[in-house]
Amino acid sequence: MEELDFSQLRWVCPLEDVVSQEGDEAPFIGQDRAQKALIFGLSMGYDGYNVYVAGPEGLGKTTYVMELLRGLCKERPVPPDWCYVHNFSNSQSPIALSLPPGAGKELQQEMDNLIETLKRELPKAFESKDFEEKLHEVTERGRKEKEELMAGLASLAEEKGFSVKFSPAGVVVVPLIGGKVVPEEDILKNAYLRELVESRRKEFEPLLKEYLRKLRQVDKEIQAKVVQLREEVARFVVDHYMDDMLEKYQDLPRVREYLEAVKGDLVKGADLFLQFPAAQDNPLLLLQLERSLAKYKVNVVVDNGGLTCAPVVYETHPTYTNLFGRIGVRAELGVYVADFQQIVPGSIHRANGGYLVLKVPELFANLGVWRALKRALVHREISIQPLMDELGLPHPVTTLRPESIPLDVKVILIGERLHYHLLMALDPEFEELFKVKADFDTQVDNIPQVRRDYRRLLDRLVERDALLPLAPSGAASLLEYTCRLAQDRKKLSLQMSKVVGMLREANHWAKGLGKDQIEAEDVEKALEEKVYRANLLEERLQEDIRRNIIVVETQGREVGQCNGLSVVDLVDYSFGRPHRITARAFAGEKGIVNIEREADLSGKIFNKAVLILSGYLGHQYGRGRPLSLSATLAFEQSYSMVEGDSASAAELMALLSAIAQVALAQNLAATGSVDQRGMVQAVGGINEKIEGFFHCCRVKGLTGDQGVVFPAANLDHLQLSPYVVKAVEEGMFHLYPVSHVNEVIALLTGMEPGERDGEGKFYPDTFHALVEARLEEFRRVALEKKGEGDEKGGK
């Protein structure tokens, strides 16, 4: 087994690839697939072609989407304004008006100016001499008609033996005898007079009623003519100030229809305006009058007058009210009331005609939002209603039912891949509404062109955040850092949030030293400080290993004991930890007993890996005969859950050592997944594992013969820290890539693994021969015990 050359341990970025270059705007590298999907979905004019942007946090998905939309939005026109106005037929259902961009504010201002003008001009019109003369003419004509009727009634009454007197309280009819008024008491005492008056009354009453009807009719006609006159005057004034508005909006039928309704209501409600002069010294009356005239205002919920293209709205806090708006209420005389002026728009109103960007975690963190969003997209309309109504719960205040606004918006959801798959599986409507998935990659090929593009992107970030210029060495060091993040020397990570964080921290250290650019040592300093802030637990672990509180052997040889490696993931920091894996073997039929599993301290993948070891033993040593083996396998001083199969190679070596009674070198640690044929497969966290064992050896004392055996399939994943590379270069630490268990056996035992001869037997004095011989001994012991048991059973 050849030891790994130190030049293979770390990819070093060629400086010529990261020299600052002039060029087009920095690309979003490695996201061609996502870009094509986004452009396709956003260009489709059919329902349901909204886009789900999938990928882990930190890739710059939101930044990419927003920049792409800022370009695409220029291809779409500016959408119309939307206003809510009073519905004169049903005040509980405000009307939604669509106007050209910027016309909403104009209409609002024009209506406000109209009302202010009418407050001045209507009282003037009703105080004019012309109006007073016409009013006098109408009332005087009516008065004469009434006087003629009253005179006729008095003459008729006198003929019939009655006298008629008119007063504000009504008409009084008094009997006449001989042309003189006779007191009522005298008539009642005289039977003859009583009968005479009664007969005359019966004859006169129908005539009286007819005259009274005519008098009332005249009053009604006078009142109607006065009302008509007032309406004519009001209409003349209103028409004078509204004709230009009606002509301006003649091409907008709904707006014109609304203005006609306003005009009619203004004419009928002109009396309100006549009270303003007298109300100037009465604040309470003035307030009541202003509230009465508020119905003529215009509530502009969407004003697109300042836009030059379709809107792009990113709602960072998509609560129900933030997204869909709300209907406010106000207290009046102890009662909560609502009107169209309390309608407040949401993000979806502002994004209508353009693009709406939402993040999935925030979206689902708010009650009722997802269901309301789906309904809006399905029905292509925006309805404003309280959240309580959306949830089907009673609402304490009677609210409005505003007219729905047609919806034309492209929704872009940004979330994890897991969220996408959950929605696909659990929500039948999701696939119909979000037909396009834009999947963001987490890494990109490490090739010269990509490195040059990455450099341009880094320069752009430097300019955006006003950082120090990036020297070629600093850019190279950053790209090496991305390679470490990708855990692959042939890939560069696209976790832009981490790259930007490292760039800013390197800028901090460079400024602290008074530099005029960011160099490689500044990036390395930033990385060291980042690790120092996060690795307290790792240092405490290494201290426990140094003090033998946690026992890890890094020298000598032991039977049935091998150093394995795992990764401790603290979310913000990961590090490798060595484990002392021990095994004991003896004759029996129990097979391999996984102590971690028996203690409920192992995961499913770990348990599967132990079962695979049984398959390897059977394949390697159980040809033609059953194995008789009882063995125990344990992670010593492990008190938490163990998961994964990366310790398979070390477990197998401990087990085989226990069976063969051959000691294993403790100066080496092994990592790798093993299949049933003995092939050593790639594992994750290879850099952390190697560095973890190196730290362990360093605190216990480097001897120059220590190292790690790891899968050759992980060669491309090596991006080790400079101090490990230096130790390998100086011969103080060693790395051995392997592809098969036989190579691990040779390294850890110093013995020839062994091959089978023509008769199918292992060559003598080889490791496999010792294992097979010991297993055969176990089998004989087991058979002897079984024979003794059978004899006792027979007796």
CB 304 within 8 A of CB 79: yes
Indicate the pTM of the whole model: 0.81
Q: How high is the pLDDT of residue 784?
A: 77
Q: State whether residue 91 is helix, strand or coil.
A: coil
Q: Quote the crossing angle between the two packed helices 741-749 and 767-794, to the nearest 10°.
A: 100
Q: State whether residue 127 is helix, strand or coil.
A: coil
CA distance 310 to 162: 86
Judged against a pLDDT cut of 60, whether residue 793 lies above it is answered with no
CA distance 382 to 96: 11
Give the mean pLDDT of 330-344: 78
CA distance 781 to 789: 12
Give the mean pLDDT of 590-612: 89
**Confidence tier at 1 by pLDDT (50, 70, 90):** low
Q: How high is the pLDDT of residue 141?
A: 77
Judged against a pLDDT cut of 70, whether residue 383 lies above it is answered with yes
Task: Report pLDDT digits (tens) over 549-563.
Answer: 999 999 999 999 999
CA distance 222 to 216: 10
Question: Which residues are catalytic, by number?
Answer: 646, 689
Q: How high is the pLDDT of residue 238?
A: 84
Give the mean pLDDT of 333-345: 81
Q: How high is the pLDDT of residue 788?
A: 61
Strands annotated E in 360-496: 381-382, 405-406, 410-415, 436-439, 443-445, 491-493
Give the mean pLDDT of 490-505: 93
Task: Report pLDDT digits (tens) over 760-786.
Answer: 889 999 999 999 999 988 888 877 776
Instruction: Concatenate the DSSP letters of all residues of 535-566 into one string.
Output: -HHHHHHHHHHHTTSS----SSEEETEEEEEE
CA distance 467 to 499: 14
The H or E element spanning position 28 is none
What is the distance between the terminal CA atoms of the chain, rounded to a whole angstrom? 58
Q: How high is the pLDDT of residue 400?
A: 82
Strand partners, 330: 337
Task: Report pLDDT digits (tens) over 38-89.
Answer: 999 988 887 889 999 999 998 889 989 999 999 899 999 999 999 999 999 9
Long-range CB contacts for residues 135-138, cutoff 8 Å, separation at least 24? 135/226, 135/229, 138/222, 138/225, 138/226, 138/229
**Confidence tier at 223 by pLDDT (50, 70, 90):** confident
Give the mean pLDDT of 604-617: 92
The DSSP output letter for 446 is -
CA distance 734 to 747: 12
CB 755 within 8 A of CB 762: yes
Give the mean pLDDT of 535-539: 94
Residue 30's Cβ-side half-sphere holds a number of Cα atoms within 13 Å equal to 23
Report the range of poorest mean pLDDT among 292-296, 474-478, 624-628.
Answer: 624-628
The DSSP output letter for 491 is E
Class of residue 295 by CB neighbours under 10 A (exposed 0-12, middle 13-18, buried 19+)? middle
CA distance 572 to 483: 17
CA distance 40 to 63: 19
CA distance 448 to 482: 15
CB 564 within 8 A of CB 651: yes
Judged against a pLDDT cut of 80, whether residue 227 lies above it is answered with no
Q: What percent of the chain has pLDDT over 90?
A: 58
Specify the amino acid at residue 444: V
**Confidence tier at 221 by pLDDT (50, 70, 90):** confident
CB within 8 Å of 721: residues ≥ 6 apart:
687, 691
**Confidence tier at 373 by pLDDT (50, 70, 90):** very high
Task: Report pLDDT digits (tens) over 16-34.
Answer: 877 876 655 555 688 889 9
Query: How high does pLDDT run on average in the chain?
Result: 87
CB 51 within 8 A of CB 438: yes
CB within 8 Å of 88: residues ≥ 6 apart:
261, 262, 264, 265, 295
The H or E element spanning position 340 is none
Task: Report pLDDT digits (tens) over 264-298.
Answer: 988 888 888 888 877 777 888 888 888 888 899 99
What residue spans of 547-603 are helical by DSSP H?
A: 595-598
Task: Report pLDDT digits (tens) over 693-744.
Answer: 999 999 999 999 999 999 999 999 999 999 999 999 999 999 999 999 999 9
CA distance 10 to 14: 12
Judged against a pLDDT cut of 70, whether residue 791 lies above it is answered with no
Q: Which residues of 133-143 are buried (b: 16+ CB within 10 A; e: fewer)?
A: ebbeebeeebe
Helix, strand, coil percentages in the chain from 3-state DSSP, rounded to 5: 50, 15, 30
CB 328 within 8 A of CB 397: no
CB 277 within 8 A of CB 122: no
CA angle in degrees (0–180, nearest 5) for 458-460-461: 65
CA distance 362 to 419: 12
Judged against a pLDDT cut of 90, whether residue 322 lies above it is answered with yes
Task: Report pLDDT digits (tens) over 172-215.
Answer: 777 777 666 767 676 666 777 677 767 777 776 787 777 777 77
Q: How high is the pLDDT of residue 333?
A: 65
Q: Quote the crossing angle between the two packed helices 520-534 and 496-512, to the nearest 10°.
A: 110
Q: How high is the pLDDT of residue 543?
A: 95
Where on the phi/psi map is residue 663: left (φ > 0), alpha (ψ -120 to 50), or beta? beta
CA distance 780 to 57: 59
**Dihedral sign from CA coordinates of 250, 253, 254, 258:** positive
Residue 545's φ and ψ, nearest 5 degrees, are -70, -40
CA distance 713 to 710: 9
CB 386 within 8 A of CB 395: yes
**Confidence tier at 526 by pLDDT (50, 70, 90):** very high
CA distance 727 to 707: 10
Q: How high is the pLDDT of residue 48?
A: 86
Residue 579's φ and ψ, nearest 5 degrees, are -130, 140
Q: How high is the pLDDT of residue 267?
A: 86
Give the mean pLDDT of 107-128: 86
Strand partners, 436: 51
CA distance 519 to 552: 39
Residue 603's Cβ-side half-sphere holds a number of Cα atoms within 13 Å equal to 9
The DSSP output letter for 6 is G
Q: How high is the pLDDT of residue 328?
A: 84
Q: How high is the pLDDT of residue 397?
A: 65
Give the mean pLDDT of 640-644: 89
